[in-house]
Structure 1
Amino acid sequence: MCGISGIIGPKATKLNIRKMTEIMHHRGHDSIQHFQQNGIALGHNRLSIIDLKNASNQPFQRNNNPWVLVYNGEIYNYVELREELMLEGYTFDTQSDTEVLYQAFLFWGEDCLNRLNGMFAFAFWNTQSKELFAARDRFGVKPLYYFQDQDNFIFASEIKAIRQLVDVNLSEERMANYLTFGSYGMLNESFFDSVHQLAGGHLLKLKGHKLQIKRWYNFVTRVKQQLKQNETIDDATAKKEYIKLLQDSINLRFRADVPVGFTLSGGVDSSLLLALVNQREDASEIKAFTFYTGDEGYDELPWVEQMVLKTKTQLEKVLLKSEEVNQRHHQIAKIQDEPYGGIPTIAYAKVFESIARRGIKVVLDGQGMDEAWAGYDYYQNNSNSTIQGQSSVSPFKTNILSESFLAKAEKPNYPQPFEDDLLNKQYRDLFYTKIPRALRFNDRVSMASTTELREPFLDYRLVEFAFSLPKHHKIRGGQGKYLLREILKTYSKDVAFAPKRPLQTPQREWLAEELKSLVENAIANIECSSLANLLNISQLKEEWHKYQHGDQESSFHIWQWISLSKLVENE
């Protein structure tokens, strides 16, 4: 896990590339290195995970080959790829996955992408042909942003690094969509005009000023083939195949030359992760971490403790208090660069701080199960909601937007490549809504504590298999993630069939009471910012008044104001 940066054009100076790596110091400081020639500069912040020796530092170049690599992430199957390349006559100077990626690209070219099982964002620069090749993993676990004008092409793991070199404005369209529809942007967008992101499963080529972007991972085609294969699969066979894949995925993600831990909630996903981790020989040495707030109405701690009682796992419980939220929000807002998901994200960030203090650099979590296994309640009704547990009352308050600002909002139109409505909702959440935003939040909070987060349930083999199972394996008897619960039932029946809890923190209550000043400061900031001309401030204050007096069906609109006030403050 690292940070990468690059400049192609007149701005490619040593001073500028150092500005970019310095601002991403939190992403890795075991080694900070640069490559600079006329018209090109590359930077790398290293968090050493595999082969800790200096020979694996980046930017990486071998035997005066014209290709230079900067890479963020992990190739989990690097051992198998290394053996395959050695049979082709390649030799290796290191034990790193970096060198495996480098040699794989030299041998297979862009076709190497389909052989990689991992999370990654990387860029190769050819010093002779002056061309750039960059790619991002299938689901976009690792970030890659870029900016291009008539003179320069600049890319980085985080927006703040690009903003060190160019002035960019907040996108009014993106903000309007956020306030109107809750959208965090489409796959190639950020909240800043002129700053784009390379979408997950896509590659980028640049030569001269010609930029070419194309999809390299075709999830739809692959899944449609598997849908036909799995039409008649029975419960026992499906369970056996999924457990086999899941065990392999977890084993791959334990490959590290540093200590590994994992996070726990009381849900099916992380409980299953706990059960399988407990089967490892080193289970007693692996620490688990969970957060709680001290509010029994929201905390998942009882379910977590119930599972841990049956395992060898050491559990560390991290308490988030309301009085911490204000300061932590200011820190995380700077790290996130864009709006983020509220107090649960703040609690998660504190968990990573605790993990880092224990000297653990690699962390596993349970992201990705709900989308692959149809775990959200709205998968079982006709709702187009993307929010678990949402009532019929809209969480968005469009009456606070001026007419001209509201007119800039355009409802996101997500592709529907399948004939089945359930599959289309799952596809939307995997590639456009739930997973992209969760991965962004999680990447930033884990890297803020210089720790690497790995998601074994987002192994593409697992996602494709679960996604392509018939509906009755996912939903049965009004229960989502049915077959997954049947697997977990072996370890804990109570947890396996516990209802999904949409809220994990008392955010609604805290914002109205303990964190009242945070909200009021946000409103004051908005009044003094460029947003004031885009909003109806009197209507905003009226909504805040109603919220304080009991209209608390949802707190999402309140958090939107807090997020945007910080964004315009940092503009």
Structure 2
Amino acid sequence: MKKFNDQKILDLLKHRGPDNRAFKEYKKCILFHSRLQILDTSGTSNQPFCDDESENCLVFNGEIFNYKEFQKKQSNLKTTGDVEVLFNLLKTEKENCLNKLNGFFAFAFYNAETNSLLLAKDRLGIKPLYYYKDEEKIAFASELKPLLELTGKQELNLTQLNTYFGLNYCAGPETIFKNIYRLLPGQYIQVQNKTVTVKNWYVVPKKQASQNFTQLLEEAVKLRLHADVPVGTFLSGGIDSSIISALAKKNKADLNTFSIGFTDEDYFDETNYAELVAKHINSNHHTFKLSETDFLNNIHDFLNCIDEPFADSSAFNFYMLSKFTKDHVKVALSGDGADELFKGYNKHKALLMSNSSLNRLLAGMGSPLLALNKSSRQGALANKTRQLKKFSELVKLNPTEKQKFLASISSQTEIDKLLKQKVNPAYFDSLFKTNSVYSNFELEDVFDLQTVLADDMLVKADRFSMQQGIEIRNPFLDYRVVEYALNLNNKEKINKSAQKIILKKDFAYLLPKQIFERSKKGFELPLHKWLSGKFSKEFETKLLNKEKIESEGYLNYNYIAELKEQLHSKSPDDSAAKLWAIIIFESWLTNFKDYIKPNA
């Protein structure tokens, strides 16, 4: 085997596992691991985890929440955590044990005698796993930089770049680099005798939703509170995180809750709702407030930690919340997944309303008037105008086009103006088809799970919390809750006047009624203000410098200049979000310059 810079690879993974780093080298395989100690904090659970003969070896990122079920049946255990339990299951059952696991994970299990490898990823893709294969080797990692240390420089994948500028994040099985792929949710890879096979191991079943939902979610929360380190919850003051925090408090008397907001930004700040919930459930609450100065002081560290271009602006909030929280806990429960499962996004209401012939007629009549009003995301009236303009376009589209329109930050026409090289949008279009995990369901009910959740929300939760050495756990994404929710009649989730109906009905007893009556808000940055403020000069002269852009050869500077002009106009629309995506990409290009091979 080629000799790699072992220490550099471990250093590149250090943020994901600051507590222990090690590698195990075989004749035909080398495994690296950095550990974040959550269960069994002793050194006996350090990885790579091998048996006495070193014939089998495991590297594992994640948690198996139901490991105690299997622990009872296993003998001669040397540890108290989930690593050895998973190791023993894989040793005896191989991939057949996957459907028994309740947890989130990405792992590699190697058998030296047969020179065989099993790589697997959890049902919903909560933990990341990238891989590369050629005629000589297969390489894999949790993030791109350590993987590129193993593979050498790679060309940029322009079809994924096209997707990134459409959605503001990378999506699907391809990545920003050619030849490097994302293992999808519910998939595993078998490597044997130079044969590499990718298989699906999980499909959400179509069945009657018959369980007691309240009991199901409470059990999911209870399972995720178990750790040998301090555990808390992220509490935004929205319905989802409030329910999780209230259920956690029932099972953990000394619960710490954490929220983040903004000084002098009332439209974006929701900490008053979080504090209302914290007072109601009597948690030990911590509120952190961000200012423009905090943004300026932390933006460079944030930009430098981005692994694959990712321009969901709320990632900065998540990064800062994790940074503040790590002084108190090592594990935080969150409300991720509820919006996707119970139709909580504004777009779900828009989709429902767009099917009404009366609403289509009214939208068409109102379109000329909307053109007269300024629109942006920076205030209640401007944001409502933006939403109404989008709705007047939405009603004209077929079901697949509606999903594409609502998911996109930039249209294909706009992307074509931005990219120097025009790209065939076939790959982007392929994302709007139901994948194997959700093959039993309609695209409208699962697109947000297979793409928005897997490639945006969960990427944000994993990458920017793990940068701070914090593990995020998501009770709504317990596979039993997911299966229940997907098999639930949509009338239990949404109608013309209400969303997340079952959550409001089943958990009304837990929380103040104001939490259920308030309107939905996103977890966004005051991006327009901060890009127009003190950061403006820096990003315009350094990151969006005309000479830099033109020398790289990927983007058209003239279109960027148009967006900058629009940002400062009376109708900025989504120009801040579009510029943010370009800023992220330009910063990323600089950070990854040593790993990028010029495109042929």
Give the structure 1 partner of residue 581 of structure 2.
560
Match of 2:399 in 1: none
* TM-score, normalised with respect to structure 2: 0.84
Q: Which letter maps to 1:275?
A: A
For 1:109 and 1:162, the matched residues in 2 are separated by 25
Post-superposition CA distance 1:139-184 (Å, at most 9, x none): 11111111222223211111011122311222222112222x2163
| Equivalent position of 1:539 in the other structure | 559
Secondary structure in structure 2 of the residue aligned to 1:432: helix
Q: 2:37 aligns with which of 41, 48, 58?
A: 48
CA drift at 1:532: 5.2
In the alignment, the residues of structure 2 paired with residue 531 and residue 416 of structure 1 have an alpha-carbon distance, to the nearest angstrom, of 39
CA distance in 1, matches of 2:414, 2:308: 23
Q: Could you tell me which of 481, 485, 498 is aligned with 2:504?
A: 485
Contact 2:337 2:453 in 1 (8 A): no
2:194 to 196, 205, 209: 209
Q: Who is 2:279 aligned against?
A: 309
Q: 1:169 aligned to 129, 152, 155, which one?
A: 155
Post-superposition offset of 1:506: 1.4
- What residue in structure 2 maps to residue 4 of structure 1? none
Aligned sequence identity (%): 28
Q: Distance in 1 between matches of 2:18 and 2:78?
A: 23
Unaligned runs of 5+ in 1: 1-9
The separation in 2 between residues aligned to 1:348 and 1:117, in whole angstroms, is: 25
The SS at the match of 1:122 is strand
Partner of 2:240: 269
**Which residue does the alignment assign to 2:57?**
68
Corresponding residue of 2:540: 520
Q: For residue 41 of structure 1, report the CA deviation from its aligned partner.
A: 0.9
- CA pair 456-95 structure 1, distance change in 2 beyond 3 A: same
Aligned pair 1:569/2:583, yes or no?
no
| Aligned counterparts of 1:482 and 1:423: Cα–Cα separation in 2 | 20
| 2:457 is aligned with 1:406 | no
CA distance change for structure 1 residues 403 and 40 in 2, over 3 Å: closer, same or farther?
closer
Q: How does 1:222-261 map to 2 (within 5 A)?
A: 222=205, 224=206, 226=207, 229-230=208-209, 241-261=212-232
What does residue range 327-338 of structure 1 map to in structure 2 within 5 Å? 327-338=297-308
Pick aligned residue for 2:97 from 112, 117, 123: 112
CA positional deviation for 1:21: 1.2
Residues 421 and 527 of structure 1: CA distance in aligned 2, closer, same or farther (over 3 Å): farther
Shift of 1:422: 9.1
Q: Does 1:178 align with 2:164?
A: yes
* Aligned residue type for 1:565: E
Structure 1 partner of 2:129? 144
RMSD: 2.6
CA distance in 2, matches of 1:402, 1:278: 49
1:204 and 1:214 in contact (8 A); partners too: yes
**Matched residues in 2 for 1:503 and 1:47: separation?**
27
SS at match of 1:444: helix
Cα distance change on mapping 1:30 and 1:407 into 2, 3 Å: closer
**1:458 matched residue in structure 2:** 477
Q: Deviation at 1:92? A: 1.3
Quick one: distance in 2 between partners of 1:507 and 1:265?
A: 19
Q: Are the equivalent residues in 1 in contact too, given 2:40–2:81 (CA < 8 A)?
A: yes
Q: Which runs of 5+ in 2 are unaligned?
A: 355-376, 378-382, 391-407, 594-600
Moved more, 96-105 or 498-507: 498-507
Deviation at 1:59, TM superposition (A): 0.8
Instruction: Tell whether the 8 Å contact from 1:525 to 1:569 is kept in structure 2 after alignment.
Output: no
Greater RCO (CA < 8 Å, at least 6 residues apart):
2
The residue aligned with 2:324 is: 354
Secondary structure, counterpart of 2:502 in structure 1: helix
Counterpart selection for 1:26 from 4, 10, 15: 15
1:276-295 alignment, distance < 5 Å: 276-280=247-251, 282-283=252-253, 285-294=254-263, 295=265
Confirm or deny that 1:365 pairs with 2:334. yes
Alignment of 1:130 onto 2:115: yes
CA distance in 1, matches of 2:148, 2:435: 36
Answering whether residue 84 of structure 2 is matched by residue 99 of structure 1, we say: yes
CA contact (8 A) 1:370 1:376 kept: yes
1:8-23 → structure 2 map (5 Å cutoff)? 10-11=1-2, 13=3, 15-23=4-12
Residue 527 of structure 2: which of 502, 507, 513 is its match?
Answer: 507
SS in 2 for 1:290: strand
| Matched pairs, number | 536
- Residue-by-residue CA offset, 1:120-142 (whole Å, 9 max, x unaligned): 00001111111111100011111
Contact kept in structure 1, 2:168 and 2:311, CA below 8 Å = no
